[in-house]
């Protein structure tokens, strides 16, 4: 992937049909065979988020990526010298992230496996929290907002690229309850995508 003068190389799954859980680790976490591969491919939302992060002001900010999957945005922020920590629930997200940081010959990115139902933070608070396509289950909106609140500084910005999952209204209400104001915009030039992007960029700040 080319981002301006930055080149990010990725080892990913070939497609969303792959599956390998020989020790049943993902199954024990409630990740079905049908959903196992979703972390390991590059979705349009993740490309939109990464493009946003190319010019985003990151100096002096501690940054957290939620549901990083193959972590394209984290890798780009890391290349820019940003203070980025990545999280995902999938047991293979961390190993793939480590492989990809080494592939790009960049410094190792801190990673922890996050369960949104457990908002307690042993990792401190962050100034900027980002995520792509994380509003996928209606029942998770309360847990996700609580997790963000537990990891957000008093002054914090949250950027979510949503492909149009129709959960944004409920998520907006949850975030408003924690003192965040929000705005919604369409991405600019998306000629780098193979098909039109029907989603939005949701930005929350307080």
Q: Stretch 29-38: mean pLDDT, rounded?
A: 95
Q: For strands 62-66 and 126-132, give the pairing.
A: parallel
Residues 6+ apart with CB under 8 A from 18: 36, 37, 40
Look at residue 149 in the predicted model and tell me its pLDDT.
Answer: 96
Which whole number is the average pLDDT over 33-39? 95
pLDDT in the model for residue 120: 79
Residue 131 has pLDDT above 80, yes or no: yes
Please compute the mean of the pLDDT values over residues 184-199 and round it to a whole number.
Answer: 94
pLDDT value, residue 111: 97
Task: Write the pLDDT tens digit of every residue in 44-54.
Answer: 999 999 999 99
Per-residue confidence (pLDDT) for residue 121, from 0 to 100: 77
What is the pLDDT, as a whole number, of residue 76? Answer: 98
Model confidence, pTM: 0.96
Q: For the CA atoms of 18, 22, 25, 28, what is the dihedral angle to 10 degrees?
A: 90
**How far is residue 122's CA from residue 118's CA, in Å, rounded to a whole number?**
11
118 — pLDDT class (breaks 50, 70, 90)? confident
The rounded mean pLDDT for the chain is 96
Res. 119 pLDDT band, cuts 50 70 90? confident
Residues 68, 132: Cα–Cα separation, whole Å: 8
Six-digit token pair at 140?
A: 């998770």
Assign residue 68 a region: left if phi > 0, alpha if psi is -120 to 50, beta otherwise? alpha
What residues have CB less than 8 Å from 172, skipping those under 6 apart? 182, 202
pLDDT score at 56 = 97
């Amino acid at each position: 992937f080319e981002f301006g003068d930055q080149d990010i190389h990725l080892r990913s799954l070939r497609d969303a049909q792959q599956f390998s859980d020989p020790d049943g680790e993902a199954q024990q976490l409630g990740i079905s065979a049908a959903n196992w591969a979703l972390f390991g491919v590059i979705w349009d939302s993740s490309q939109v988020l990464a493009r946003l992060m190319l010019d985003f002001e990151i100096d002096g900010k501690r940054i957290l990526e939620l549901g990083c999957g193959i972590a394209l945005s984290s890798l780009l922020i890391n290349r820019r010298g940003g203070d980025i920590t990545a999280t995902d629930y999938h047991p293979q997200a961390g190993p793939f992230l480590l492989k990809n940081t080494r592939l790009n010959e960049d410094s190792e990115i801190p990673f922890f496996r996050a369960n949104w139902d457990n908002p307690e933070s042993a990792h401190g608070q962050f100034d900027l929290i980002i995520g792509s396509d994380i509003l996928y289950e209606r029942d998770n909106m309360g847990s996700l907002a609580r997790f963000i609140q537990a990891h957000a500084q008093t002054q914090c910005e949250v950027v979510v690229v949503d492909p149009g999952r129709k959960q944004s209204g409920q998520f907006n209400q949850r975030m408003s309850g924690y003192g965040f104001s929000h705005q919604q915009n369409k991405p600019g030039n998306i000629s780098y995508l193979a098909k039109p992007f029907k989603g939005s960029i949701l930005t929350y700040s307080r």
